[in-house]
Amino acid sequence: MVALTLPDGRVRRYDGALSGAEAASDIGSGLAKAALAVRVNGDLRDLSCELEEDAEISVVTLKDDDELVLDLLRHDAAHVLAEAAKELYPGIQVTIGPAIADGFYYDFSREEPFTPEDLEAMEARMHEIVDRDEKVVREVWERDAAVELFKSMGEHYKAEIISEIPEGEPITLYRQGDFIDLCRGPHLPSTGRLGHAFKLTKLAGAYWRGDARNEMLQRVYGTAWRNDKELRGYLHRLEEAERRDHRRLGRELDLFHFQEEAAGMPFWHPRGWTLYRTVEAYMRRRLEDAGYVEVKTPQLVDRALWEASGHWEKFRENMYTSESEERIFALKPMNCPCHVQIFNQGVKSYRELPLRMAEFGSCHRYEPSGSLHGLMRVRGFVQDDAHIFCTDDQINSETRRFCDLLMGIYRDFGFEEVQARFSDRPEVRAGSDETWDKAEGALRDAVEEAGIAYTLNPGDGAFYGPKLDFELTDAIGRRWQCGTLQVDFVLPERLDAEYVGEDGVRYRPVMLHRAILGSFERFIGILVEQYAGGFPLWLAPVQVAVTTITRDGDEFAGKVAERLESAGLRVTLDTSAEKINYKVRLHSHAKVPVIVAVGKREAEDGSVSIRRLGSREQQSLALDEAVVRLSEEARAPGA
């Protein structure tokens, strides 16, 4: 007897084992037709799986709003892609093809490079395979037999993968038509169930197993969704992402550039550096108002400190080092050990806690060249870093203060939707289980008291403590992890930080690691894409372009620019001989938020004509009123 409990609590009993497909059919014919897979005690399995014991089950369909459903579709799409490539290009070898965020990829070994035309051909063949509705069959093989099978087909990469699977582990292969692939599954019951809501998107190179010493493979990327509407929405987001790409806008708006002589480190141009300093000035003011003290710590620090903190063992491969006078120094990859050194100067009293220590700390970390991505992934960056040294009893109140500060800053930058993720202890970590129990409990209590909703992200904590990461959602729905709050009982112990309590006894402070922007470089890249370069007035590198309509307005235009600059606005003056329509197009392309036009009539009556970026409407104001209005509008939030 097998008892299956359905999501609504009903129990169906069967005389013996049955497949997931049979269970779906017994529940209802409509459900059986829509079924893609089955969840058994929470685990996703093929419909062909045998249900031999009592279990909680649910039948998975396209109506399930679940990332696992998309992963299932995308994994099958990768297999269909591999089948299409094998049919089109005899002799090609398949390697691995997983589902990834928003899509899938498959890596191929082929002497001839793929072309955009090949991409179109493979996509067309994928549609044919879906129309064939080939049955997908799971097979269990002996390891050696599976190795020989793939060797006989010329699939040496697959044979290598299988040969490294430990003895005793089941080898599962999936067959569809004449194509067979190594895979753990689960998969759809047939290729037809994938549907046609997929598209191949791009080609790239990838080293076998991610090792630059191995062969370069050809990676084909694609995306797959439940239906055409979702696919069209995603492709629109891709177009929007391309339009907003900060690397392109950085060049077009003359903000920054990169070059190989300093890979992973931006060259900031005057306008870009103005934007950077505007963000920095805003953050400095917000931190000062929130009771932080700002410090500055050295760039090069002896390895002895990094060994004592534990960072040398954990991050050595990502640290830049220098040797001098038979000592090894490292460019700091983070600021926390140095902040403890400042805390340790002199005896600290409980009366001085909480001590909120902030630094716009310049850090360097080695990132492989293939992972560098404009401002989003760099080797040299500045963190809006801070560490709060406090007592156990102050964790809750400091967490609440920090969360309020973070949310307010995000709102000021135009981000309204923020999610939090709670990450607990990773497998490799510093400190005892007892210490981690205490840290996780403290952070969880503090977050819940602060009223912050969060999702769990198991095993992704920092090596010294649990953390709460904050993701903000941008204008086209993408999520960016920026802020973080981490509870650390380990580093104060390792670096011997102490304070004297009210009872005269020495105690270890709690160390709260926290950041809001994460890094200035990455956050500015996010801002560029959030606003597609058209920043709100307070952030814009150039806030006002004063342009002349006729040469009669040159003198008055200079006076207008001076008045606006004296009011604190960032102004460019354009008295060129070009026609006014050309000037408007020029400064609009440069994303200047406000264009002030003056000519003979404006000079005579002391007025200006104002046009906003993206609008054709013009507003005529007296100069004095325009200066007041624009200067108030350009004031940073809360200033």
Q: What is the pLDDT of residues 481-501, one digit of tens each?
A: 999 999 888 899 999 999 999
Average pLDDT, the chain: 92
Residues 523 and 279 sit within 8 Å (Cβ to Cβ):
yes
- Say whether 419 is catalytic: no
**Would residue 296 count as lying in a domain?**
yes
Spatial distance between the Cα atoms of 281 and 287, rounded to a whole number of angstroms: 10
Condensed to tens digits (0 to 9), the pLDDT of residues 229-263 reads: 999 999 999 999 999 999 999 999 999 999 999 99
**Would residue 537 count as lying in a domain?**
no
Q: Output the pLDDT for position 610.
A: 95
Task: Choose one of 184, 216, 242: the last residue of a domain.
Answer: 242
- Say whether 383 is catalytic: yes
Percent of the chain with pLDDT over 90: 72
Q: Output the pLDDT for position 614.
A: 85
* Same-domain pairing of 76 and 50: no
pLDDT band, very low/low/confident/very high, at 360 (cuts 50, 70, 90):
very high
* Same-domain pairing of 50 and 74: no
- Say whether 311 is catalytic: no
Q: What is the DSSP string of 550-598?
A: SGGGHHHHHHHHHHHHHTT--EEEE--SS-HHHHHHHHHHTT-SEEEEE
Q: What is the CATH number of the domain that holds 593?
A: 3.40.50.800
Checking if the pLDDT of 409 tops 80, the result is: yes
Residue 614: count of CB within 10 angstroms of its CB: 9
**Would residue 249 count as lying in a domain?**
no
**Would residue 42 count as lying in a domain?**
yes
Checking if the pLDDT of 553 tops 80, the result is: no
**Would residue 539 count as lying in a domain?**
no
* Same-domain pairing of 572 and 453: no
Spatial distance between the Cα atoms of 143 and 194, rounded to a whole number of angstroms: 29
Q: Exactly one of 218, 383, 486, 530 is catalytic; name it.
A: 383
Condensed to tens digits (0 to 9), the pLDDT of residues 302-351 reads: 999 999 998 898 889 999 999 999 899 999 999 999 999 999 999 999 99
- Say whether 587 is catalytic: no
What average pLDDT does the segment 573-584 reach?
A: 92
Condensed to tens digits (0 to 9), the pLDDT of residues 384-402 reads: 999 999 999 899 899 999 9
Checking if the pLDDT of 552 tops 80, the result is: no
Give Cα separations from 554 to 530, 548, 557, 602 (angstroms): 36, 6, 5, 11
Residues 515 and 457 sit within 8 Å (Cβ to Cβ):
no
**Would residue 251 count as lying in a domain?**
no
Percent of the chain with pLDDT over 70: 100
Q: Exactly one of 286, 365, 425, 563 is catalytic; name it.
A: 365
- Say whether 387 is catalytic: yes
Give Cα separations from 40 to 19, 50, 52, 331, 448 (angstroms): 11, 10, 11, 51, 32
Q: Output the pLDDT for position 224.
A: 97
Q: Exactly one of 336, 338, 390, 403 is catalytic; name it.
A: 336
**Would residue 65 count as lying in a domain?**
no
- Work out the end-to-end distance of the chain between its first and last CA atoms, rounded to an integer number of angstroms: 72
Checking if the pLDDT of 101 tops 80, the result is: yes
Q: Exactly one of 74, 332, 379, 513 is catalytic; name it.
A: 513
Give the chain's domain count. Answer: 4
- 275/426: higher pLDDT: 275
* Same-domain pairing of 176 and 308: no
pLDDT band, very low/low/confident/very high, at 217 (cuts 50, 70, 90):
very high
* Same-domain pairing of 183 and 108: yes
Q: Exactly one of 244, 387, 425, 429 is catalytic; name it.
A: 387
What average pLDDT does the segment 55-64 reach?
A: 88
**Would residue 250 count as lying in a domain?**
no
What average pLDDT does the segment 55-69 reach?
A: 86
* Same-domain pairing of 51 and 196: no
* Same-domain pairing of 490 and 404: yes
Q: Output the pLDDT for position 236.
A: 93
- Say whether 385 is catalytic: yes
Spatial distance between the Cα atoms of 480 and 313, rounded to a whole number of angstroms: 29
Q: Exactly one of 332, 467, 514, 583 is catalytic; name it.
A: 467
Spatial distance between the Cα atoms of 364 and 421, rounded to a whole number of angstroms: 26
- Say whether 513 is catalytic: yes
Q: Exactly one of 107, 385, 469, 474 is catalytic; name it.
A: 385
* Same-domain pairing of 321 and 470: yes
* Same-domain pairing of 150 and 201: yes
pLDDT band, very low/low/confident/very high, at 444 (cuts 50, 70, 90):
confident
* Same-domain pairing of 510 and 578: no
Task: Choose one of 191, 207, 242: the last residue of a domain.
Answer: 242
Residue 164: count of CB within 10 angstroms of its CB: 8
Q: Output the pLDDT for position 458.
A: 87
Residues 379 and 364 sit within 8 Å (Cβ to Cβ):
yes
> Phi, psi (5° rounding) for residue 621?
-135, 150
Checking if the pLDDT of 51 tops 80, the result is: yes
Q: Output the pLDDT for position 514.
A: 95
* Same-domain pairing of 110 and 231: yes
* Same-domain pairing of 510 and 560: no
Q: What is the CATH number of the domain that holds 401?
A: 3.30.930.10
Q: How far is Cα of residue 519 from the mean position of the Cα atoms in its chain?
A: 13
The residue range of the domain holding 409 is 256-529
